[in-house]
Amino acid sequence: MTLRYAQLSSVEQAPGVTGTTELGPGPFTVSGATTGYVLKASSPSVANWAAESGGGGGSLADTTDDATVQTTDATVTTIATYTTLADEEAISLKVQVWGRQATTDDTAKYVIEALFNRATGGVVTSKDENFLSVYEDQAAWDVTFNISGSDIQIQVTGEAAKTIDWRCQLEASELAGTGGGGAPLADTTDDATVQTTDATVTTIATYTTLADEKATSLKALVWARQATTDDTAKYVIEALFNRATGGVVTSKDENFLSVYEDQAAWDVTFNISGSDIQIQVTGEAAKTIEWRIQLEVSEHG
């Protein structure tokens, strides 16, 4: 790992780190550091290693990538590749791709939520590729997905005789994963799982509102998988709640930006219990379904 612009007179040994721990002006490199630890200042000149949490700009994804590529013609070109981790998992992808051609100032942007399934034997299939937003100055430009073995490739297509610079920001999470790295720019985040075995409404996550006279913005990504049938589902939701005087919470808007279901009986709903906002899932009779939620919540007022 590399630490840049650090001016600390003392730093303790990180888990698994070998070599010196004294830091001068960066860049500074240590070898063998355990993934998921960051330096946290305990005084103006001293920092300690701590498990990565909180903060801004990161993601609840298990894997993230920020990649670039340049195209000079209309050849389909891979900009990023995600290698699925294991059989019997559902994979959620959040993809943002944008491109620019300097001579003409042509631009494009694509925001995509996708769901893939990896079954026994490493067979990966696409379940849903939902383009939430597309802007193109040139209709010939494109973003597509390709499956190669156990890999999911994000590919871009440019234009003949045009040099186009592309960038891709990718977040990938698998249902059997344990949650990701640093938290996003939210006041509160959660990464939770639950198992249903019937059609009983089941709470997967609960957010306790903080104070009266606050508006609460909630972003939820929920996805699910049934191992026997390979059925999957994915829900992308933006919601707004209000907490008035006396702790009364009301739902103002529940916007399902994207829904994919192999089984229409599966569902995600919200429930208000006192000052709590509950996210609930509904499965299917006599079916064992694994559910996962990644939740971001911010309050303002």
In the block, residue with structure tokens 């007179």: 9
Give the pLDDT score at 186. 53
| Amino acid in position 237 | I
What is the mean pLDDT of the segment spanning 238-265? 95
Q: How far apart are CA 72 and CA 139, in angstroms?
A: 16
Positive/negative CA dihedral, 190, 194, 199, 203 = negative
Find, among 35, 66, 37, the residue nearest to 52 by Cα: 37
Q: Residue 182 above 80 pLDDT?
A: no
Calculate the dihedral angle through the C-alpha atoms of 279, 284, 287, 288, rounding to the nearest 10 degrees: 0
Considering only 103-112, 167-176, 189-198, 281-290, which range has the smallest mean pLDDT? 167-176
What is the mean pLDDT of the segment spanning 132-144? 96
What is the mean pLDDT of the segment spanning 172-178? 72
Burial class (CB in 10 A: 0-12, 13-18, 19+), 181: middle
More confident residue, 127 or 61: 127
CATH 2.60.40.1680 domain range(s) in the chain = 63-174, 188-300
Output the CATH code of domain 63-174.
2.60.40.1680
What is the mean pLDDT of the segment spanning 46-72? 63
Superfamily of domain 188-300: 4-oxalocrotonate tautomerase-like (2.60.40.1680)
Q: Residue 254 above 90 pLDDT?
A: yes
54 phi and psi angles, rounded to 5 deg = 65, -165
pTM of the predicted structure, to 2 decimals: 0.70
Q: How far apart are CA 10 and CA 165, in angstroms?
A: 42
Mean pLDDT score of the chain:
82
Q: Residue 242 above 80 pLDDT?
A: yes
Give the start-end residues of each E strand in 9-105.
10-11, 28-29, 37-43, 46-51, 63-71, 76-83, 89-101
Considering only 44-48, 129-133, 236-240, which range has the smallest mean pLDDT? 44-48
What is the mean pLDDT of the segment spanning 93-109? 94
Give the pLDDT score at 62. 78
50 phi and psi angles, rounded to 5 deg = -145, 155
